[in-house]
Amino acid sequence: MTDSNSSIGQSVDAVPPPRRTETKLSIAWRELKKAPLSAKFGLLVIISYIFVAFFAPVLTPFGESEVVGPEYDVWSGEHPLGTDNLGRDMLTRLFYGARNTVGIAFITTCLCFLVGGVGGILAAAIGGWFDQISSRLVDILMAIPQLIFALLLLTIFGTAIPTLIIIIAILDSTRVFRLARAVSLNVVVMDYIEAAKLRGEGMGWITIQEVLPNIMPPLIAEFGLRFCFVFLTISALSFLGLGIQPPTADWGSMVRDNATLITYGDVTPLLPAGAIALLTVGVNFVVDWFLHKTSGLQDEH
Amino acid sequence: MIAQRLGLGLLTLFVVTLIIFLGVEALPGNAAEAILGQSATPETVAALERQMGLDLPPHERYVKWLGGIFKGDFGVSIANSREISDLIGVRFANTIFLAVMAAVIAVPLALILGILAALYRNSYYDRSVNIVTLSSISFPEFFVAYILILFLAVTLGWFPSLANIGPETPFWERVYRCILPALTLTLVVVAHMMRMTRAAIINLLASPYIEMANLKGMSRSHVILRHALPNAWAPIVNVIVINLAYLIVGVVVVEVVFVYPGLGQLIVDSVRTRDIPVVQACSLIFAATYVLLNLTADILSIVTNPRLLHPR
């Protein structure tokens, strides 16, 4: 505690207080330069993943599921990471995997926040029977272990990508619902919410204009953590052969398809798994820093 | 208090069976059509429906299904027409064996690491344990599993990379073959337990009676082991049971990696072949174990906390 206090004191001395003329961008840049090494590392990881995801076709000479050589070819100049179980270029698929796996996990997390976040805020704002029913529904959904529930639903509805996204998003939205409801409960009792209601504002306006801005920091941090969970769940399902289906390049199924190589002491199949781990660690570092930052800023005021 | 929680737990279990039953009801077509496949004529489908009791209305079927489960009858697999209870029996025992083995390694390890981290908090030991546990939470289970296989099975050759056990495998041979999967599960759950142990003890260190003990001039380890730990048991036991519940579910991926003949492997295979009765039965067992362990955790935390036991 004393440690963080003194560091805040020092930083206030060293940097002049922000003036009105500063844009949000320059404030962000200044904060970024002060960020700890772990957060910078995390940001670097996230940015490079996004870069690779967007420019995968430019960065790779081969097609996503193009067979370019013999199966399980060794690392060479032409194929820097060798080829996979069907003779497709490993590096190419690793790059495309950034696009597919991370992209799908990102869309799922967004959907999950849309459902859980809106539900949670509305439950807090409306209260009464709506709150009771939705909260009990969430309790029931959370009573069944998530992976097992996902497996059951995937058996029933099949393993197409839209189905996968909807199932994981809804199962994960229960956690977002609880958080959003808990933090909004503190906000909806405020006078300005009462004032807005008396002004005759609609529920949608109150939710978006009054409640949402006040609960943003915990929700953003939760978005990072939730993304990690969704990402790991989807990878686990793909690894089990029940998530993203071939020939789409995906890190979970790439590990599964090439796992035999490990028994010969080859590390290639570990690379997609390592890519998953690196991104989750990176996101966790940034979330950690963000949580520290937002709680620290509240101390200063 | 306890009776109330027990009632809630039973209600949860009931709702879980209802969800699992209704989820399958939502399917287009039914099991009879799925078994007979393309060659089905309306007459044969109707005959099989009558034989399986599918012509009954849903609520009667639900009661019948639930009654059958209490007698250990889960129905028949679509894929190979075998009794599901035969398929499940041995595999469930195997899964429990693996989970118990992981727990036997993980629980003492987490307690020791957590107490040491509380004892030497903010030291290099504390920080490095923190970083290692944080990253082990972030790693996918199969990544941890394959790293262990690569180093301990392939490079060093100490343990087998596949955990293929049969009913006649002797006990110690079983333990030996299960070391890698158990170790993987351990690494996955130990982080959470260890952090909660550390937090529970550090929370107590601010209490006046701990300060008193410090002022008396007691050694730090004595204060933590004799004064803080007994009062920290309640939250620690709670976290341990919750993690055991997680272990039961976490086995799914690990069993697939090590080709271990357990319930997790079975549910994954059955999802792939869309063998719905088997998936239904497996998810019911997993969900029930999970609900019961969480219930145990809640009851234990009531029992170990006198303030909750005698509410005013």
- How confident is the model over B104-161, as pLDDT tens digits? 888 899 888 888 888 787 778 887 887 777 777 788 888 888 888 888 877 777 777 7
Q: What is d(CA A281, CA A198) in angstroms, rounded to the nearest whole number?
A: 46
* Average of per-residue pLDDT values in chain B: 80
Does the ipTM exceed 0.85?
Answer: no
Neighboring chain A residues of B135 at a CB cutoff of 8 Å: 277, 281
**What is the three-class DSSP state of A190?**
coil
A205: its two tokens:
């306006």
Q: Please name the residues in contact with B148: beta carbons below 8 A apart, sequence gap of 6 or more.
A: B180, B183, B184
In a domain, A159, yes or no: yes
Q: In the structure, what pLDDT confidence band is assigned to residue A124 with cuts at 50, 70 and 90?
A: confident
Q: Are the CB atoms for B188 and B136 separated by under 8 Å? A: yes
- What CA dihedral angle connects A271, A276, A279 and A282, to 10 degrees? -90
The domain containing residue A142 runs over which residues? Answer: 38-58+98-299
Instruction: Please indicate, yes or no, if residue A178 is contained in any of the structural domains.
Output: yes
Q: Which residues pair with A83 in a beta bridge?
A: A89
Q: CB-based contacts of A148: which residues, under 8 Å, 6+ apart?
A: B249, B252, B267, B282, B283, B286, B287, B290
pTM value? 0.81
Contact across the interface for B150 and A262, Cβ inside 8 Å: yes
Show Cβ contacts of residue B252 under 8 Å, excluding neighbours closer than 6 positions.
A147, A148, A151, A240, B264, B267, B268
- Which residue from A156, A242, A273 is facing B143, i.e. has the nearest CB? A273
Chain A residues with CB inside 8 Å of B146's CB? 255, 259, 262, 269-270, 273
Contacts of B51 (CB under 8 A, 6+ apart): none
pLDDT at B312: 55
Whether B55 has a pLDDT exceeding 80, the answer reads no
Band of residue B306 on the pLDDT scale cut at 50, 70, 90: low
Query: CA of B149 to nearest chain A CA: how many angstroms apart?
Result: 8
Kindly tell me if the per-residue pLDDT of A108 is higher than 90.
yes
Residue A84 domain-assigned?
no
* Residue at A86 is within a domain: no
The alpha carbon of residue A198 is apart from the nearest alpha carbon of chain B, in Å, by 40
Q: What is the pLDDT of residue A2?
A: 40
Residue B286: which of A148, A154, A264 has the nearest Cβ? A148
Nearest CB neighbour to B286, from listed A140, A145, A280: A145
Q: Residue B157's pLDDT is what?
A: 74
pLDDT average, residue stretch B14-35 = 72
Q: Percent of chain A scored above 90 by pLDDT?
A: 10
Cα A81 to Cα B309: distance, rounded to the nearest angstrom: 61
Cβ within 8 Å, pair B287-A143: yes
Whether A144 is in a domain gets the answer yes
Q: In this structure, what CATH number is given to the domain that contains residue A276?
A: 1.10.3720.10
Residue A202 clears pLDDT 90, i.e. is over it: no
Compute the distance between CA of residue A223 and CA of residue B244 in angstroms, rounded to an integer. Answer: 27
A202 lies in some domain: yes
Q: How many structural domains does chain A have?
A: 1
| In the predicted structure, residue A16 carries a pLDDT above the cut 70 | no
Cβ contact, residue pair A273, B150, below 8 Å? no
Q: Do B149 and A273 touch (CB under 8 A)?
A: no
Residue A151 lies in a domain: yes
A154 touches chain B (CB under 8 A): yes
The Cα of B246 is separated from the nearest Cα of chain A by a number of Å equal to 8
- Pairwise CB contact (< 8 Å): B146 & A259: yes
